[in-house]
């Protein structure tokens, strides 16, 4: 299985920097998944959840408000305004979920997009 590099950067620091098997991104034209060897692409990102599939097949969800992504064959770089990572191993997961909800609610996009993203967060919260 091929892997690709993934970076998620916010003004407050690096959220994720490492390898990934697959990543699903909330593009402004709709959600899309990226596998290694993807064609070069630049897209706007809207409020939603970035799902990262790690090399060991575990998953990390990152709530974002808005940003950009650049994809090329070996690398995915996400530049976002604000992000909160939610992974199963976190000890303070409830606090993180709260943060994620606040982040999404403060985003300046359509209310339906926010509602969809928030309900996703709720689901993720239940799965822990």
Partner 1 sequence: MANLKDIQRKIKSVKNTQKTTHAMKLVSSAKLKRTEELARRSRVYAGKLTEMIDEIALKIQNLGADASDNIYFKDNNHPKKVDIIFISADKGLCGGFNAQTIKRVNKLMEGFKDDEVKVRLNGVGRKGIDYFRFNNVEMLREVIGLSSAPDYPKAAEFITEIVEAYVNGETDRIIMVHNGYVNMISQEVREDQILPIDVSTEHRNTESRSELEIEPDDDSTLLVALTKRYIEYSMYYALLDSLAAEHAARMQAMDAATTNAKEMVKTLSVQYNKARQEAITTELIEIISGVESMK
Binding site for partner 1 (CB under 8 A): 7, 9-14, 27-29, 39-44, 68, 70, 72-74, 77, 79
Partner residues linked to 59 by β-bridges: 53
Instruction: Identify which of residues 46 and 51 has a Cβ nearer to partner 1 in the complex.
Output: 46
Least distance CB 1 / partner 1 (angstroms): 21
Instruction: Identify which of residues 12 and 126 has a Cβ nearer to partner 1 in the complex.
Output: 12
Instruction: Identify which of residues 29 and 56 has a Cβ nearer to partner 1 in the complex.
Output: 29
Least distance CB 78 / partner 1 (angstroms): 9
Least distance CB 56 / partner 1 (angstroms): 26
Q: Are 36 and 3 in contact (CB under 8 A)?
A: yes
Q: Where are the alpha helices (DSSP H) in the chain?
A: 93-105, 111-127
Instruction: Identify which of residues 44 and 115 has a Cβ nearer to partner 1 in the complex.
Output: 44
State the helix-helix crossing angle for 111-127 and 93-105, rounded to 10 degrees: 170
Radius of gyration of the chain (CA): 14
> d(Cα 77, Cα 74) in Å, to the nearest integer?
10
């Amino acid at each position: 299985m091929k892997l690709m590099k993934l970076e998620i950067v916010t003004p407050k620091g690096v959220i994720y920097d490492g390898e990934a098997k697959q990543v699903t991104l909330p593009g402004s034209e709709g959600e899309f998944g990226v596998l290694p060897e993807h064609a070069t692409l630049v897209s706007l990102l809207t409020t939603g959840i970035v799902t990262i599939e790690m090399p060991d097949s575990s998953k990390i969800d990152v709530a974002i408000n808005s940003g950009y992504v650049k994809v090329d064959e070996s690398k995915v770089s996400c530049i976002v305004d604000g992000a909160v990572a939610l992974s199963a191993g976190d000890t303070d997961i409830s606090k993180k979920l709260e943060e994620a909800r606040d982040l999404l609610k403060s985003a300046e996009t359509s209310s339906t997009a926010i509602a969809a993203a928030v309900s996703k967060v709720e689901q993720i919260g239940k799965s822990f």
